[in-house]
Amino acid sequence: MNNPPLLRVVDLVKSYGERRAVDSISFQVERGQTLGLIGPNGAGKSTTVSMLCGLLRPDSGQVFIDGQTLTAGNSAVKQKIGLVPQDLALIDDLSARENLKLFGAMYGLKGAVLKSRCDEVLALVKLEDRAGDKPGTFSGGMKRRLNIAAAMLHDPQLLILDEPTVGVDPQSRNAIFDSLELIKSQGRTLIYTSHYMEEVERLADHIVIIDHGKLLANESPQALHRRLPAQAALQVDLAQAASAAVLEQLTRQHGVTGVEGDAQNIHILLTDGAYAMPVLNWLTAQAGTATHFATAKTRLEDIFLSLTGRRLRD
């Protein structure tokens, strides 16, 4: 018999007064899978995460972890979840090790097992040499890594990371990602929410996009890319501006789905990256020398914006 998905969310609904923050969302996460949960500000991500962790009771719908319903007082189910909250949920006046001991004890760890797990997770996030120091003396990135370590102590089956890289520099973000990729390689199941599309693209096997509390997409990154007519883009900067006639003919070239930019700096959308060189050759033959050109795959951000729109959110 096949194992059930590690997480199954069925018709989850949560309202605050008249506003429906989460509106009948359903999805599931298979064992060992990394799910990217993305959406604009106020889309309902945090509310969803809170319900997945048992911090909020849904108005209706159910959350199943490893086949068991997450309900009030179901400690066994909560034991399977590790939460890395968006806030730095650390106590500044306790050392890194004391923080870990506290959170470990919340999951029933004690004695030699707790000590051993503290050592392991400190090594995982590369903070073993700072175990005795207080988080108040840490950089933002180190605090974020300790936040992750605290969630890993009890060896959870499902690790939920709510924007774990907010406010850290690129080096720290890279270090966090090294840790997360190591965790992922161990076969652990992850849910990752972030505003940074490249992070989700790098880590996730499956993506859920929500907006206004509704589920807009629930599929693999490849399937999401296929939703867009353009799969690649060609950026060409010309020495001289192209004529309107050339630009009009460009839109009708084979493989071209759209032309953006101005007459000298042209952004060309292509159905496939293979059309890039023929289109570039045609354009330079018609409009003269290109001073710069570059090709790129369509990004998750393009898909995200096409699904959620470009309207500014709060």
Partner 1 sequence: MTAILALIKKDLILFRSDRRALLLSLLMPIVLGSFFGYLFGGTGSTEHAKIDIALTMQDHSDIGNKIAAGLRADPTLHIIDMPQAEAQQQVTKGKLNAAIVIPAGFGDQAGAALFGQNAKPDITVYYDPSQNMVLPMVKGVLTQQVMQVVTADMFGGPGGKKMVADSLARLEAANEKDATNAYPALHDLLKSVLHFQDQIAKDDTDTTSATVVHGMSMPFATVDQALTSGPNKYNGYAHSFAGMSVQFILFMAIDAGIGILLARRMGVWNRLLAAPITVTTLLTARGLSCAIIACALQCFIFAVAGLLFHVSIDGSMAGFIGIIVSFSLMTASFGLLIAAFGRTPEAARGLAVFATLIMVMLGGAWVPAFLFPQWLQTFTLAIPTRWAVDGLDAMTWRGLGFDAAVAPIAVLLGFAVLFGGLAVWKFGRATPNEAH
| Residue 256 binds partner 1, judged by CB under 8 A | no
Alpha-carbon span 27 to 265, nearest angstrom: 42
The least CB distance from residue 90 to partner 1, in Å, is 7
Candidates 53-61, 170-178, 221-229, 296-304: pick the segment binding partner 1 (CB under 8 A).
53-61
DSSP state of 193: E
Q: Are 273 and 296 in contact (CB under 8 A)?
A: no
Alpha-carbon span 266 to 269, nearest angstrom: 10
Q: Contacting partner 1 (CB under 8 A), which of 102, 166, 216, 228?
A: 102
| Residue 56 binds partner 1, judged by CB under 8 A | yes
Q: Contacting partner 1 (CB under 8 A), which of 7, 81, 176, 183?
A: 81
Q: In what order do the strands lie in the sheet with 158-162?
A: 81-84, 158-162, 189-193, 34-38, 206-211, 214-219
| Residue 90 binds partner 1, judged by CB under 8 A | yes
Closer of 150 and 247 to partner 1 (Cβ): 150
| Residue 71 binds partner 1, judged by CB under 8 A | yes
Q: Contacting partner 1 (CB under 8 A), which of 106, 123, 182, 223?
A: 106
SS3 275: helix
Give the helix ranges, DSSP H, for 153-297: 170-185, 197-203, 221-227, 244-250, 276-287
| Residue 148 binds partner 1, judged by CB under 8 A | no
Handedness of CA 149, 154, 155, 158 (dihedral sign): negative
The count of residues interacting with partner 1 (CB under 8 A) is 37
| Residue 75 binds partner 1, judged by CB under 8 A | yes
Using alpha carbons, select from 265, 279, 208, 299 the residue that is nearest to residue 22. Answer: 208
Q: Contacting partner 1 (CB under 8 A), which of 11, 32, 91, 240?
A: 91
The least CB distance from residue 82 to partner 1, in Å, is 9
The least CB distance from residue 109 to partner 1, in Å, is 8
Alpha-carbon span 149 to 100, nearest angstrom: 8
Candidates 84-92, 120-128, 231-239, 302-310: pick the segment binding partner 1 (CB under 8 A).
84-92
| Residue 117 binds partner 1, judged by CB under 8 A | no
The least CB distance from residue 65 to partner 1, in Å, is 12
Q: For residue 182, which amino acid is it?
A: L
| Residue 192 binds partner 1, judged by CB under 8 A | no
Using alpha carbons, select from 70, 121, 63 the residue that is nearest to residue 96. Answer: 121
| Residue 103 binds partner 1, judged by CB under 8 A | yes
| Residue 138 binds partner 1, judged by CB under 8 A | no
Alpha-carbon span 310 to 301, nearest angstrom: 11
Per-residue tokens: 22: 């989460």
What is the binding site for partner 1 (CB under 8 A)? 14, 50, 53-57, 70-73, 75-76, 78-79, 81, 83, 85-91, 93-94, 98, 101-103, 105-110, 150
